[in-house]
Amino acid sequence: AIGGSAAAFTVGETISANNSGATAVVVSVKLGKLTAKSVNGIFNTTDTISGGTSASTTTISAIEELWND
């Protein structure tokens, strides 16, 4: 889950975390939940994430790992 407004993040854009340095690609954003793939690094709840093309920023309030073979 993410804090603040996530509506400005766009599907396909790369997001990056300010503290951990983790990156990922946005798959979907709805109801305060951002889903990402191609994760490099480990996101944590002290991170603020930024969109590479939208320039949107928000905090991470919870993390759920999902695996899809």
pLDDT greater than 70 at residue 1: no
Tell me the one-letter amino acid at 46.
Answer: T
Residue 41 is classified by DSSP as: S
The pLDDT score that the predictor gives to residue 7 is 60
pLDDT of 69 higher than 70: no
Q: Which token pair is 29?
A: 């954003």
